[in-house]
Structure 1
Amino acid sequence: MKQFVIYRRVSTEEQGRSGLGLLAQTRDIDLYLSNYAETPYQIAGTFTDELSGRDNDRPELTKALDLCRRTGAELLVAKLDRLSRRVSFIAAIMDDPKVRLRVASMPNADKFQLHIYAALAEQERDFISLRTKAALAEAKARGQKLGGMRDATGKRNEAVQRGAQAFAQKVKPIVEPLRTSGATLAEIAGALDGAGISTARGGKWTPTQVKRVLERLA
């Protein structure tokens, strides 16, 4: 029976907690398994690292590769950059005679094609980095203040957060007693609408919006 070892990677602990990056990778892997994998197949293991693609010290990837070597399973990743952003690192894995690599987003790519793709992607990233540094140097030479837009955005975000916190305090006398009495988020949303209280943006309440208010009050 065909076996796969699934490997996923997210760049930061925050991404790992939010699940956003992991959900997208899981979706792509599931699409590959449903549409391209030989059947029947078996998942021998699933491993996830929360580390930068530039970090070659990956404990979960090491476990995944060891399992591939012991079982003969194929290493399955959603995208090539989830494995690494360094072509040398990817090449070393593909040169391992006991490891077979499969990329879900490129289901029919062979070893040679994957190597070329990794090399081109690394070259493009290097060029983008050089172009960004050159643009910053030119802006600095013209006397343009760098970081101003970021500061303005930060101030706007702080104002939005303060407004949201103030609104949460406004509806607190209704929301908290209802939640304490066991009302569901949907029931609280209905009670607020029934009382003629609009959301901060003047719309109808949803359970998700009620949840956000409760989180701000926690």
Structure 2
Amino acid sequence: MQRYVIYKRVSTVDQGKSGLGLEAQSRDIAIYLVTYSPEPFEVVGEYVDVLSGKNDDRPELIKAIDQAKRDKATLLVAKLDRLSRKVSFISHLIDDPKLALRVASMPHADKFQLHIYAALAEQEREFISQRTKAALRQAKERGQKLGGLRDKTMKRNIAIQEQAQKRASNLENIVVPLRDRGDSLRDIAAALNKAGIKTARGAEWQAPQVKRVLDRLAS
């Protein structure tokens, strides 16, 4: 019988209390178990941390890993960034020969692919950080007050990221199954257009836009 230890993480105490984020993770994990897991299966443990992804000292994750190894179970998470936002930490877990790991949103990804996804996600976050710093430096050179600009820039970036992530999550149950069955990016774009689904700007879907959605779901 296939055994699983489930691990979830939310970033703030408020999210932990309200369930924000946990519901979505539970949904993705349930989809994996029903659709992709070998049968029969059993969930032998479930752990939740309420800590930032930048903090790798997470007591519940340590417990989840220990149980997974002890019970010869697979550690199952909804998305890769629930484990950590640091590629070094994720790589350490992936390379552990005693730990089996699965990511619900990437059901067919092997260890090599998970490492690549983690590295790309870290590079993207670093680029966004550098872009923001460059914008602040340019504003300072123009004599603008950085306090207000920083707040506005951060709020705008957060809002844009949240909207993009929400839209990607809404499309996950459509684009991921199509990708998993082998459809090309162009085929997925055609399916979305045929279904009458528009992009965020109200336009027709193209392959690069589908790729951005899939990359966002994988990050």
Q: 1:137 matched to which residue of 2?
A: 137
Are positions 1:46 and 2:50 aligned together? no
CA-to-aligned-CA distance 1:48-88 (integer Å, 9 cap, x gap):
00111111101000000000110110000000000000111
**Unaligned 5+ runs, structure 1:** 153-218
Distance in 2 between the 1:151 and 1:68 partners? 42
Deviation at 1:148, TM superposition (A): 3.5
Distance in 2 between the 1:17 and 1:83 partners? 20
Runs of 4+ residues over 4 Å off in structure 1: 149-152
State how many pairs are aligned: 152
Deviation at 1:132, TM superposition (A): 0.6
Deviation at 1:140, TM superposition (A): 1.8
Deviation at 1:151, TM superposition (A): 8.1
Q: 2:69 matched to which residue of 1?
A: 69
CA-to-aligned-CA distance 1:196-216 (integer Å, 9 cap, x gap):
xxxxxxxxxxxxxxxxxxxxx
Answer with 60-69 or 136-145: which moved more. 136-145
Q: 2:27 matched to which residue of 1?
A: 27
Structure 1 length-normalised TM: 0.67
Structure 2 length-normalised TM: 0.66
Q: RMSD between aligned alpha carbons?
A: 1.6
Distance in 2 between the 1:129 and 1:56 partners? 20
The letter of the residue matching 2:73 is: A
Q: 2:103 matched to which residue of 1?
A: 103
**Unaligned 5+ runs, structure 2:** 153-219
CA-to-aligned-CA distance 1:86-144 (integer Å, 9 cap, x gap):
11101111111110110000000000000111111111111111111111111122122
Deviation at 1:16, TM superposition (A): 0.7
CA-to-aligned-CA distance 1:142-175 (integer Å, 9 cap, x gap):
12233447889xxxxxxxxxxxxxxxxxxxxxxx
Note closer, same or farther for the CA distance 1:98–1:18 as it changes in structure 2 (3 Å cut).
same
- 3-state secondary structure, aligned to 1:3: strand
Distance in 2 between the 1:150 and 1:76 partners? 37
- 3-state secondary structure, aligned to 2:42: strand
Q: 2:175 matched to which residue of 1?
A: none
- 3-state secondary structure, aligned to 1:143: coil
Distance in 2 between the 1:108 and 1:57 partners? 28
Percent identical: 67
Q: 1:114 matched to which residue of 2?
A: 114
The letter of the residue matching 2:69 is: R
The letter of the residue matching 2:79 is: K
Note closer, same or farther for the CA distance 1:150–1:112 as it changes in structure 2 (3 Å cut).
closer
